[in-house]
Structure 1
Amino acid sequence: MFAAAPAPEVSATQAAILTAYAELIEEVGTDDVSFRLIALRAGVGERTVFRYYPTRTELLLATAAWIDRTIFTRAESESIFDVPIAIREAMEAYDRRPELAYVVAEAELRGVNGSDPAPHREEFDGMLRREVPSLGDEERRGVVAALCHLDSSATWVTMRRELGMSGRDIADAATWAAEAILDPIRGVVGGA
């Protein structure tokens, strides 16, 4: 599994606001949450919320990035061949907190939440370079891109909404797909 990207520095007040909004999203969704309600839950004044997040969109995007870095965190994988397990665990985490997964996916799909759309790209690339040095650049980029695509809340949301899959089926499908991507290179580990 992977370490979370370093979170941008947030003050205690910002953390309280983001935590409050994340809690309220799970309780009532994103549409029914006013800045006043967030402020009450966070224990701050409504003006304080507006000072940090002047628009609903800014608040939502900041919250999505915060959720991704604090709630959907992962430890570092030791091997590229452990990535399917990390992907399974990510899909299971999204399934346990679906409202938050939808928020993170929405922000990822907009590409404007300040987070990296493929936060584990460098780790995947580095592990492949170390473990399968004979892999060509084009093939390595393809493997990395495919794993990054699978390793996202957007994939979970697509399988849930568009395909109507259950949480267990999503975890199984994502794990199987990651294994299928890695299987062809298992035989060339460390090879020349």
Structure 2
Amino acid sequence: MTTDGVTGTQAAILAAYAELIEEVGTDDVSFRLIALRAGVGERTVFRHYPTRVDLLLAMSAWVERTVFARPPSESIFDVPIAIREAIETYDKRPELAYVVAETAMRGVNGSEPAPQRAHLEALLEREAPSLDADERRQIVAALCHLDSSATWVTMRRELGMSGRNIADAATWAAEAILDPIRDLGSH
């Protein structure tokens, strides 16, 4: 097993599929083409991922954990920077961001909907201990979805925003959420 929960063969298959999606889109990628790119037999792909849906969901969760992974923030007040970096990463890999967002919005890709939630809660408890549980929950709910691929896709498709404008808007929103609590930890 690798550190991201898949075997080396599975990682090769998922990486090959991700590369091919970026090159030709999701519809034009056959199991045979994936097997060739991954350097495995076609049966091996089917053994690990019996259907196209299984493969798509596994690849989406894998991309979220690897390609779009980011280190946790050291301070709650660093989160706007992390959000900007996440949005910029989606903008560099748009085909993968669309696939991850589509499967995440359907709640079927097996990845955590808000992977940073527990970490954000811990940061808030440490840096703004006077907040009550409801206030913390509201702040965490707002922050943990600003850097999602689903947010990026929504702003891109629905609002026609550029990557830079999405990053600016998400960063601004995070700053607006955090500004009222900046001095709570210093009292």
Q: Structure 1 residue 85: deviation in Å?
A: 0.2
* Correspondence for 1:3: none
1:83 counterpart letter in structure 2:
V
Deviations 1:55-97 (A, max 9, x none): 1111001001111111112122110000000000000000000
Distance in structure 2 (CA, Å) of the matches to 1:43 and 1:49: 10
Q: Structure 1 residue 8: deviation in Å?
A: 4.4
1:127-166 pair list within 5 angstroms? 127-166=123-162
Which moved further from structure 2: 81-90 or 181-190? 181-190
- Give the 3-state SS of the residue equivalent to 2:184 in structure 1: coil
Aligned residues: 186
**1:37 and 2:36 equivalent?**
no
For structure 1, the residue ranges without an aligned partner over 5 or more in a row are 1-5
* Contact 1:7-1:69 within 8 A present in 2 as well: no
Q: Structure 1 residue 50: deviation in Å?
A: 0.6
TM-score scaled by length of structure 1: 0.94
Counterpart of 1:112 (choices 104, 108, 111) is 108
**1:64 and 2:60 equivalent?**
yes
Deviations 1:13-63 (A, max 9, x none): 111100100000000011111111101111111111010001111100100
Q: Which runs of 4+ in 1 moved over 2 A?
A: 6-9
Distance in structure 1 (CA, Å) of the matches to 2:105 and 2:120: 21
- Give the 3-state SS of the residue equivalent to 1:31 in structure 2: coil
Q: Structure 1 residue 115: deviation in Å?
A: 1.1
TM-score scaled by length of structure 2: 0.96
Distance in structure 1 (CA, Å) of the matches to 2:44 and 2:151: 35
Q: Structure 1 residue 9: deviation in Å?
A: 2.2
Distance in structure 2 (CA, Å) of the matches to 1:176 and 1:94: 18
For structure 2, the residue ranges without an aligned partner over 5 or more in a row are none
2:167 counterpart letter in structure 1:
A
* Correspondence for 2:122: 126
* Correspondence for 1:168: 164
* Contact 1:7-1:66 within 8 A present in 2 as well: no
Distance in structure 2 (CA, Å) of the matches to 1:8 and 1:115: 12
Distance in structure 2 (CA, Å) of the matches to 1:187 and 1:131: 9
- Give the 3-state SS of the residue equivalent to 2:6 in structure 1: coil
% of aligned pairs identical?
76
